[in-house]
Amino acid sequence: MLEALTWLLLALAALFFSAGTLGLLRLPDTLSRIHALTKADNLGLGLAALALLLHAESWAAAAQIGLIWLLALAASATSGYLIARRCLLESHGTPASTLGAPPPGAPPP
């Protein structure tokens, strides 16, 4: 039962990581890429941490896994925000370069 749940969680984590990576590779502009990466990867990391929590040897080890997940969450959210802010600042100087530029061939809004 525990094994099955662990494998299910790990498979879901891998799915979310793959979705995030696919988004990073395929989405047209920087902001959507950051969005795909941070959101999907944080969820994937959370699922992987949950799978590891099921096998933690002690409460201290479980707390460490939880703390690592929280720190990674804060780091990824902050760096995503910082990249997005830099991107916004740059886009004020150069319109439609990377920020919010429609994919080639898209109809104008």
Partner 1 sequence: MNAIDLLLALALLLLAGSALLARSVQTASVLFIAFGLLLALVWVRLGAPDVALAEAAIGAGVAGALLMLAASEFESRRIGGSRAAGPRLPWPRPQGWRPRWALVLLALACAAVLLLAVLAIEPLAGAATEAVARNLPQSEIAHPVTAVLLSFRAYDTLLEIAVLLVAVVAVQAAPAPPQRALAHDPVLARVAAITVPLALLVALYLLWAGSSRSGGAFQAGAVLAGAVLLARFASLPLDPQSRLTRPPVLALGLALFILIGLVAGALAGAALGYPSGWVKPLVLAIEAALMVSIGATLVALFGGSKTA
98 touches partner 1 by CB under 8 A: yes
Report in angstroms how near the CB of residue 21 gets to partner 1 at its nearest. 13
**Hey, how many other C-beta atoms are within 10 angstroms of the C-beta on 93?**
7
Query: Please, are residues 102 and 108 in contact by the beta-carbon 8 Å criterion?
Result: yes
74 touches partner 1 by CB under 8 A: yes
Say how far apart CA 47 and CA 39 lie, in whole Å.
13
Report in angstroms how near the CB of residue 1 gets to partner 1 at its nearest. 27
Note the residues at the interface with partner 1 (CB under 8 A): 71, 74-75, 78, 81-82, 85, 94, 97-98
